[in-house]
Each structure stands twice: as C-alpha cells, then as structure tokens.
Structure 1
Amino acid sequence: MPYVRGINNYNRVNFLASSKVQSFTTLVSDVGVTAVDGKKIVKAGTILPKNDATAEGILYYDVDVTHGPQPGALIVEAYILEERLHTAPTTGAKEALTKITFR
C-alpha cells in the first residue's frame, strides 16, 4: 500500500515544451536517494531508472520516497526543454528515450 502525503512544492520548474505528454505509472525506488531535511524526494525531471542507456522515461512530478518506494508518473513521450532539467541527460539516455524529443 503506498504512503500518500501531500507535498508543498512551490519551486517547480516547467520542463515541458508542449502539452503533448504520454506517461505511465511506475514504482519510484528509494535506493540511493539522500534525505534533505528528513525527507527523501526524487525530483520531477529525473531520468529513471538511471541517466544512461537503461533510461525508460522522465519523472513527471516530485515523489516522496521517505517511507519506501512510491508510485509516480513516468513520461515516455513528450517534448522536453533539456536545459530546464536539473540534471542534463547523457547521450545514452537520449538514445534510449526514442519517443522523447529534447529541445
């Protein structure tokens, strides 16, 4: 059963270049996430599962994994403003994300 709790996030950056977005539900892991102020947050715009050739998509919203893995929305098709992502995608990730267009 997922742990659901509201998060106030007022510093969200819009990294979408258009309204055309296709996303699917994924389980966001808490492994390797560092706690900040007692919370483990995986930021929107994170390439999952890793920023390499294994990339499957980009996280649509922030996900709080403080209490374990949680469901999140994974963008698999969209136009993305690359310079607005908090971590630049690697060449391998760009090649793996064939339905995402980076602008």
Structure 2
Amino acid sequence: MPYVKPVVTANRINFLASSKVQAFTYQVSAAGVAADSNGRKIVKAGTILPANDATAQGILYTDVDVTNGPQPGSLIVEAYVLQARLPVAPAAEAKDALSKITFR
C-alpha cells in the first residue's frame, strides 16, 4: 500500500493595505522560535523584526522556516499595513522605528 501524506492547508491573512511594497532581504534568526506541532520552527508573515520594540527594522513579508537555522526572508521596510491583521500588535516604539510603514 503506498504511503500518502495528509493534506496540509495554510491560512494566510493579507495584512497589506496597498500593492506598493518596498522589501529587502533579511537574515531571519531561529533564536527564540518555538517548534509547532509538526516540529517545524516557522516565523510568521507579519512579524516585526528583529523585535517588536525600538530596534524594529521591518515586517516579515512571508513565512520563513528556521527549523534548520537562520534563513533569508523578505523584510518590508515601506508599505501601508493593516495593523489589526498582524500576528502581534506593534508596540508604540516599533511604530516610531518603522517610520516608512503606515499603519492603518
């Protein structure tokens, strides 16, 4: 009997309020990322990096799997973003640091 993997579905919430986005490559760290039920360490799209504080440099554009260590990702540095749809609400310090991101 052949082995069949179960179907895995992904739910992605669009947090962008515009189609114009400026993003750059960013090395996403695996530090502090907890494994999910499948044993994978996934940093979710919409995460403020490197931290949700005054050190914020941008918002992660897509999910990044860091199970095997740091991986490159796309970091949004300029865009209109729907704040309520981010996985974690941005701190006031992060909003100040992300001066070219407009939160709606």
* Same fold, TM-score > 0.5, yes or no: yes
Q: Which of the pair is proportionally richer in strand?
A: 1
Runs of 4+ aligned residues of structure 1 deviating over 6 Å after TM superposition are none
Corresponding position of 1:85: 86
**C-alpha separation between the residues in 1 aligned to 2:87 and 2:72?**
21
Question: How many residues end up aligned between the 2 structures?
Answer: 96
2:24 counterpart SS class: strand
CA 86–68 in structure 1, closer or farther in 2 if over 3 Å, else same: same
Q: Which amino acid aligns with 2:28?
A: V
Q: Which amino acid aligns with 2:21?
A: V
Q: How does 1:21-100 map to 2 (within 5 A)?
A: 21-36=21-36, 37-100=38-101
**C-alpha separation between the residues in 1 aligned to 2:34 and 2:59?**
19
Query: Whose radius of gyration is greater, 1 or 2?
Result: 2
CA RMSD, Structure 1 to Structure 2 (Å): 0.9
Corresponding position of 1:19: 19
Q: TM-score, normalised by structure 2?
A: 0.90
Percent identity among equivalent residues? 71
**C-alpha separation between the residues in 2 aligned to 1:65 and 1:21?**
24
**C-alpha separation between the residues in 1 aligned to 2:30 and 2:13?**
22
Structure 2 unaligned runs (5+)?
1-7
Q: Which amino acid aligns with 2:35?
A: A
